[in-house]
Structure 1
Amino acid sequence: MRLLDSLHQEADLDRAVVTPEGELSRHELLGRAAGVASAIAGAPIVAVEAVPGLSTIVAVTGALLAGVPIVPIPPDAGSLERAHILRDSGATLLDAFSNGHGTVPPEPPSSAPALVLYTSGTTGAPKGVVISRSAVAAGLDGLAAAWQWTADDTLVHGLPLYHVHGLVLGVLGPLRLGSRLVHTHKPTPAAYASTPGSMYFGVPTVWSRIAADPSAARALAPARLLVSGSAPLPVPVFDNLTALTGQSPVERYGMTETLITVSARADGERRPGHVGTPLPGVLTRLVDDSGTLLDPDGETIGHLQVRGPTLLDGYLHDGGVRPPALTDGWFPTGDVAVIGPDGWHRIVGRASTDLIKTGGYRVGAGEVEDTLLLHPAVREAAVVGLPHADLGEQITAFVVADPVAPADLITFVAERLAAHKRPRAVHLVDSLPRNGMGKVQKSALTQIKT
């Protein structure tokens, strides 16, 4: 089976890809992508300015047809980040796109690299993650089974086209499985509400804004799946979407290095604050700080490790690919999680920022954030552990809210969670620092002037 299998099928699907600037059938997309493939044939690696729309979709499709690894560059990347990505990858930037037709080349080996996706660089310079064609195929086929995703679906989203969620799932998924893709350029409530579809993709920020717009949320009620990922979905947003649309969102978990590994199922339970069970072929486990295996008891927080066919080949390094540091074949995600006896996963967050060790206790920041969001005055909340001479780390909350006393918020949490989980300090701020994916940049919180 070819990676972009639906493009090669004889039946032509009208309006296979629809964007605000135009639309392409499968036949038209294959023709334009074949022209790109002919133009770059034999290149070691190429890059594309991953602007939303047809040009990026055609360029990525063409590179995959040609078997040339492609690096999507965020269109809002600063000059230093952009220069780093081009220098580090050695990629030639595509600055023109063929409108002509070329010859569709033979299918490249499944082991060949497909994409080089750069990490967000929160702990240093962004790293180029090399993802193989077989990993992409395995990940999409696993999601097709979990979500009952077929050619009869219409996927709607407006996510950026330079990361796993928007590009791999949101573009390559439809091209492999044959469903129609409607990309709205921006993931606004109005754009989603005015675009009929059976599946919608969004990050928590998108779903939070939709939940705050009841008319837009109700417009999505006919959809089959509302999928949330890239960060934990706050429980209040989960509950509001369920009430407004008549269905609970499907959450899933993954990262650049592993693609999607865990998800709720289309025909199964959907639990607030949880991301489901491993996809076919994927194994997960928890270990403690010393690497000792932990029992999946539904309570113990541990370091999450995964293994399976969707793992990265490695990281670009000095003109080659450096294999990832695995432990007996297991990839350390850097995230901490809880796994229940039934296999359901709850992601606590990044071990470096979301697991707070305070007064001998281990507290997940997400649980405190979800509780703060239950307060009627609170619109956004981010919780971190800051150094404290006595406690080790002090639970500290940064909150965007209507007028409210910080002491009232501390009491509010203490009345609903164990006393040791309450914030010791609450800072009211105008906004939280976020990246292009909408994720809160917790490393920047300590620089906020309060």
Structure 2
Amino acid sequence: MIWPFCAPYTRVTIRPMRLLEGLLAHAPSVSVAGRSLSAERLLSAASAVAGDVGGAATVAVDATPTLETVVAVTGALMSGAAVVPVPADAGTAEREHILRDSGAEVTLGNRPEAFASPVPVDVARASGATFAAAAPEAVALVMYTSGTTGAPKGVELTHGTVEAGLDALAEAWDWTPEDRLVHGLPMFHVHGLILGVLGALRHGCSLTHTGRPHPAAYAAARGTLYFGVPTVWSRVCAEPAAARALRPARLLVSGSAPLPAPVFERLYALTGHRPVERYGMTETLITVSSRADGERRPGQVGVPVAGVRTRIVAEDGTEAPRDGEAIGELWVDGPMLLRRYRGIPGEPRTPDGWFRTGDLARIAPDGWHRIVGRASTDLIKCGGYRIGAGEVEDALLAHPAVREAAVIGVPDADLGEAVTAFVVIAGAAVAERELIDFVAAHLSVHKRPRAVHFLDVLPRNAMGKVQKKRLAGPML
């Protein structure tokens, strides 16, 4: 029998459950866009795919929201290959970069327009073949970053890394085989694939992937555990009947981008659930989260999960105080961090083991973390002050007329950078001056926007993150 995720990491207590053991012991079903497979059929179809891979070291998968993707990823992992999920909506240049950079020897998929001569995936095929277990230090996945600071980089995650990350979440969220996980997230990101597919397979719970994350589909799925990004939860709140249908659930989880406080409160009012928020990156998986058995605070992502330590570091390299006010770059360490970037020489961590996230954060005295933004785009130096874009965005979102908000620093001859806001209005029009004065009344006056631009929509990527570099360009 194959156990793709092996060997516990010494800093975390790992339950003695392996990926296939969860499938065999609890026989969860997997459903994607209305098509289902039993655990037995999934294992049999995946074994056939593992045979097709034929010992390849690296296998690319056309990561569409289909049962074929689940079978392809599972089968490639069973074979011992490193799996490279290729975004289903990737353009030609991005796709070619991922295939070339990863060194994929085999491509799996059913769309000839995505790959040249892919090996097709047939979920009806069956095989009883067995394969040797992968070592915990072997690469399980090569996940490509969004490429916001250059060409996308391939993040190598080992079997032990994925196992540790998923087990830490099981402990934080009380995730058990009795759960039914529901989501409709892309299968080429950490959130949708590792947490949303491999998490269900590892922990032996049934999975319903809705194809797309429509509120009605979430409501009809009758799950106990739901994953979504802020855009999904905002749309759920816009359909109160669908939102109320989630009341019987056990846990709603939001991630991949900050959840606006008004959406948090609206979701609570409609569903009776305060959503769990968590923080992570492609390079780190999930390192900080609120807990199923603890409180949830709007705008905050909780405390480190099992085995993780964190710190915030000021610009001068000293550790910033955990007073809830000081802003610094968040550094993390734990068993779920990347091994390396594929094809890029050098160690991705500091000599003493820390990974520099590039995100700005505050840590309160009780250990709760608030993510302020990216160091490259969200630390605004205005008139000698250091301002986190996130707190200005939160203040704008507290105004009843503002549905979405993004804040950046724009070069200014006098101030260095001017706090500049981009907002999407819901309902009645509001004047620029009213929003500026509103922020000044809620925060320190120096943190107010110097200009407010009104947009019909904010530019976002597939996971709902605002693409601020686009705001800094032609939109101005």
Normalised TM-score (structure 2): 0.91
Taking the TM superposition and a 5 Å limit, the aligned residue runs for 1:306-321 are 306-317=332-343
Q: Given the alignment of the two structures, is residue 419 of structure 1 paired with residue 432 of structure 2, yes or no? A: no
Q: Given the alignment of the two structures, is residue 64 of structure 1 paired with residue 77 of structure 2, yes or no? A: yes
Q: Which of residues 372, 376, 394 in structure 1 aligns to 2:418?
A: 394
Which segments of 5 or more consecutive residues in structure 1 lack a partner in the other structure?
Answer: none
Residue in structure 2 matched with residue 204 of structure 1 by the alignment: 230
Equivalent residues of 1:146, 1:264 under 8 A apart: yes
Which segments of 5 or more consecutive residues in structure 2 lack a partner in the other structure?
Answer: 6-16, 109-117
Residue in structure 1 matched with residue 183 of structure 2 by the alignment: 157
Equivalent residues of 2:184, 2:210 under 8 A apart: yes
Q: Given the alignment of the two structures, is residue 345 of structure 1 paired with residue 358 of structure 2, yes or no? A: no
Partner Cα separation in structure 1 for residue 475 and residue 54 of structure 2: 52
Residue in structure 1 matched with residue 308 of structure 2 by the alignment: 282
Report the alpha carbon displacement of residue 102 of structure 1 after superposing the two structures with TM: 4.1
For residues 281-340 of structure 1, the C-alpha deviation after alignment (integer angstroms, 9 at most, x for no partner) is: 11101111121112211111111000111110101117xx65314242100000010011
Report the alpha carbon displacement of residue 385 of structure 1 after superposing the two structures with TM: 0.7
Alignment: residue pair count: 448
Q: Given the alignment of the two structures, is residue 173 of structure 1 paired with residue 202 of structure 2, yes or no? A: no
Residue in structure 2 matched with residue 372 of structure 1 by the alignment: 396
CA distance 1:260–1:10, change in 2 (3 Å)? closer
Q: Which of residues 270, 276, 295 in structure 1 aligns to 2:321?
A: 295
Q: Which of residues 233, 243, 253 in structure 2 aligns to 1:227?
A: 253
Equivalent residues of 1:21, 1:53 under 8 A apart: no
Q: Given the alignment of the two structures, is residue 445 of structure 1 paired with residue 471 of structure 2, yes or no? A: yes
Partner Cα separation in structure 2 for residue 239 and residue 32 of structure 1: 43
Taking the TM superposition and a 5 Å limit, the aligned residue runs for 1:122-201 are 122-201=148-227
Partner Cα separation in structure 2 for residue 338 and residue 137 of structure 1: 28
Taking the TM superposition and a 5 Å limit, the aligned residue runs for 1:258-277 are 258-277=284-303
Equivalent residues of 1:50, 1:74 under 8 A apart: yes
Equivalent residues of 2:25, 2:204 under 8 A apart: no
Give the partner amino acid of 1:439: K
Q: Given the alignment of the two structures, is residue 31 of structure 1 paired with residue 41 of structure 2, yes or no? A: no
Equivalent residues of 2:28, 2:205 under 8 A apart: no
Partner Cα separation in structure 1 for residue 24 and residue 282 of structure 2: 33
Partner Cα separation in structure 2 for residue 285 and residue 37 of structure 1: 42
Partner Cα separation in structure 2 for residue 273 and residue 104 of structure 1: 47
Partner Cα separation in structure 1 for residue 20 and residue 150 of structure 2: 38
- Give 3-state SS (helix, strand or coil) of 1:382's partner: strand
Equivalent residues of 2:176, 2:204 under 8 A apart: yes
Normalised TM-score (structure 1): 0.96
Report the alpha carbon displacement of residue 423 of structure 1 after superposing the two structures with TM: 0.5
- Give 3-state SS (helix, strand or coil) of 1:384's partner: strand
Q: Which of residues 44, 59, 82 in structure 2 aligns to 1:46?
A: 59
Equivalent residues of 1:277, 1:345 under 8 A apart: yes
For residues 143-202 of structure 1, the C-alpha deviation after alignment (integer angstroms, 9 at most, x for no partner) is: 000000000000000000011100000001011100110000111111111110000000
Q: For structure 1, which segment, 213-222 or 45-54, has the greater mean C-alpha deviation from structure 2 after superposition? A: 213-222
Partner Cα separation in structure 1 for residue 313 and residue 91 of structure 2: 38
Residue in structure 1 matched with residue 107 of structure 2 by the alignment: 93
Q: Given the alignment of the two structures, is residue 323 of structure 1 paired with residue 347 of structure 2, yes or no? A: yes
Residue in structure 1 matched with residue 12 of structure 2 by the alignment: none
The runs of at least 4 aligned residues of structure 1 exceeding 4 Å deviation read 9-15
Give the partner amino acid of 1:88: D
Q: For structure 1, which segment, 156-165 or 22-31, has the greater mean C-alpha deviation from structure 2 after superposition? A: 22-31
Q: CA RMSD in A?
A: 1.6
Q: Given the alignment of the two structures, is residue 84 of structure 1 paired with residue 110 of structure 2, yes or no? A: no
For residues 89-131 of structure 1, the C-alpha deviation after alignment (integer angstroms, 9 at most, x for no partner) is: 1113222125231412121101100000000000100000000
Partner Cα separation in structure 1 for residue 449 and residue 385 of structure 2: 13
Equivalent residues of 1:15, 1:24 under 8 A apart: no
Equivalent residues of 2:22, 2:204 under 8 A apart: no
Q: For structure 1, which segment, 240-249 or 129-138, has the greater mean C-alpha deviation from structure 2 after superposition? A: 240-249
Partner Cα separation in structure 2 for residue 430 and residue 342 of structure 1: 39
Q: For structure 1, which segment, 263-272 or 324-333, has the greater mean C-alpha deviation from structure 2 after superposition? A: 324-333
Give the partner amino acid of 1:444: R
Residue in structure 1 matched with residue 18 of structure 2 by the alignment: 5
Partner Cα separation in structure 1 for residue 328 and residue 227 of structure 2: 29
For residues 354-393 of structure 1, the C-alpha deviation after alignment (integer angstroms, 9 at most, x for no partner) is: 1212112221111111221222222211110111112111
Equivalent residues of 1:116, 1:129 under 8 A apart: yes
Report the alpha carbon displacement of residue 231 of structure 1 after superposing the two structures with TM: 1.0
For residues 403-425 of structure 1, the C-alpha deviation after alignment (integer angstroms, 9 at most, x for no partner) is: 22111111111121111111000
Equivalent residues of 1:316, 1:322 under 8 A apart: no
Partner Cα separation in structure 2 for residue 415 and residue 428 of structure 1: 21
- Give 3-state SS (helix, strand or coil) of 2:342's partner: strand
Partner Cα separation in structure 1 for residue 237 and residue 453 of structure 2: 25
CA distance 1:386–1:37, change in 2 (3 Å)? same
Report the alpha carbon displacement of residue 8 of structure 1 after superposing the two structures with TM: 3.4
